[in-house]
A and B are shown apart, each in its own frame.
Chain A
């Protein structure tokens, strides 16, 4: 059962002036899937996410949600590396922004805040919270209106290692409960393996790798398969310059 949005990218192309960032991406993400996108810094991960979110115009190709070209943000929520909380609103009202602050938003916001374990901080200002807590508030805000697609652009990039692990658990748990489609951009290969059903590697504006992750959840690094996958991904990321010929197909065969 899923209430997620399915995504279909057809020959999606994006140029900033002469700089071709995405060179014809073809990708189908079924509703409810958790997909991680990895790739070197500057390879176009954020751009891809922003086009799917309608925050950026595509140059060419199609970006379809549930089979159609949607212009608005309904059902789609984005979480960024910065928390983007409004410092002048209480924690609760910030979460309420997710429900557009229209009538009777308080119970919804409070429930979402409870889900991330910060119910008792509802009436405080954001600036008194730690970085991890702020991101949890941002997550509660994203989830307060029952999104059908959650886009996460390195949301844990600025957090310390321990907080990051906690947040990963939380992200997984909430996704398992609510079954929206989830798209996570990350530079942390282990994070991608921990969370995703499928890992996509972008290289030179192309899809270089499309790797299913079939490990049982919750996933731990102690699983040898985990290390194996990590090795493959790291090899690929680090060895991009040397071994451009590696085909996704061959790699999938190895697994």
Chain B
């Protein structure tokens, strides 16, 4: 019993140590506040921002952008991935074009997006949608193409309806790959949003951070960084949970 406790604690020992050393360095003046604020100051800043409601406003705006962008880009990618995966005709026409567009780094579009949309919501949602599109498209498409043709043949011999063949054989067979795409795109989603909000926004966590930089509020800048880390972790945990739930047939995920 006691051993288990220690095992649970072990991964946290070094992070806690770092925070303690960091705090002590700040308080003894070894680390200047103008370089990096003390952890306690960051917590204080977080508390103040939270109490005034500003923090949640930014958080909500960023999360909304991320989710809307993800839903739009992800669902279009999913549909086209499925289409190209099962209709050779569509694949011949669309896949090469998509593969070409994939080589454009999506952040290179920022200047264009600012010209098109200014600092409004559409621009950021657009960028997020584009960034999640490719991982979801590629993984859905390949997932479907890589479903064992012998299983599809089996489904046909057994006279499964088109509908059943699609859901019970093809989609479920492609699910591991689709979930890899989702997990990967959730990471890209935040990354793109951070940059977009830092460059062109008047709200959101990225804006909060850039705004704080102008006033040298380092505690808020660090707070924003930590928030992004937490949001990223939450997204990843959701993806992991999905994998655990949807792939419980697979011994790898048990």
Least CB distance from A139 to B in Å reads 13
Within 8 A of B (CB), among A47-85: 53, 55, 72-74, 76-78, 80, 82, 84
CB distance from A141 to the nearest CB of B (A): 8
Please list the residues of chain B having a beta carbon within 8 angstroms of any beta carbon in chain A.
Answer: 150-151, 153-161, 164, 168-169, 172-173, 175, 247-251
Checking A55, A74, A84, A88 against B172 with a beta-carbon cut-off of 8 angstroms, the contacting residue is A88
5 pairs across A/B with beta carbons < 8 Å? Answer: A73-B156, A77-B157, A89-B249, A97-B155, A101-B164
Closest to A76 in B: B157
Provide the bound-state CA to CA distance between A202 and B175, in Å: 42
Docked pose: A53 CA to B156 CA in angstroms: 11
Q: Nearest 5 CB-CB pairs, A to B?
A: A84-B154, A88-B249, A88-B172, A125-B249, A73-B157
Q: Does the CB pair B150–A84 fall under 8 Å?
A: yes
| B249 partner residues in chain A, CB cutoff 8 A | 87-89, 125-127
Beyond A97-B155, A97-B160, 18 additional pairs, beta carbon < 8 A:
A72-B159, A73-B157, A73-B159, A74-B159, A76-B157, A77-B158, A82-B150, A84-B151, A84-B154, A86-B168, A86-B169, A89-B249, A97-B158, A100-B158, A100-B160, A100-B164, A101-B160, A141-B158
Main secondary structure of the interface of B (DSSP, over half): helix
* B250 engages A87 (CB within 8 Å): yes
Give Cα A159–Cα B158 distance, bound, in whole angstroms: 24
Say how far B219's CB is from chain A's closest CB, in angstroms. Answer: 49
Bound complex: CA of A125 vs CA of B157, how far in Å? 22
Q: Does A4 contact B (CB under 8 A)?
A: no
Q: Are B150 and A101 in contact (CB under 8 A)?
A: no
- Min distance, Cβ A76 to any Cβ of chain B, angstroms: 7
CA distance A74 to B158 in the complex (A): 8
CB distance from B44 to the nearest CB of A (A): 50
What is the distance, in angstroms, from A151's C-beta to the closest C-beta of chain B? Answer: 9
Contact among A55, A82, A88, A126 for B157, CB-based, below 8 A: A55
Residues on B with C-beta less than 8 A from A74 are 159
| CB-based contact B160/A86 at 8 Å | no
**Are B159 and A88 in contact, CB atoms less than 8 angstroms apart?**
no
Q: Encode A107-142 as 1/0 by CB contact (under 8 A) with B.
A: 000000000000000000111000000000000010
Q: Out of A73, A80, A88, A127, name the residue touching B158 (CB < 8 Å).
A: A73
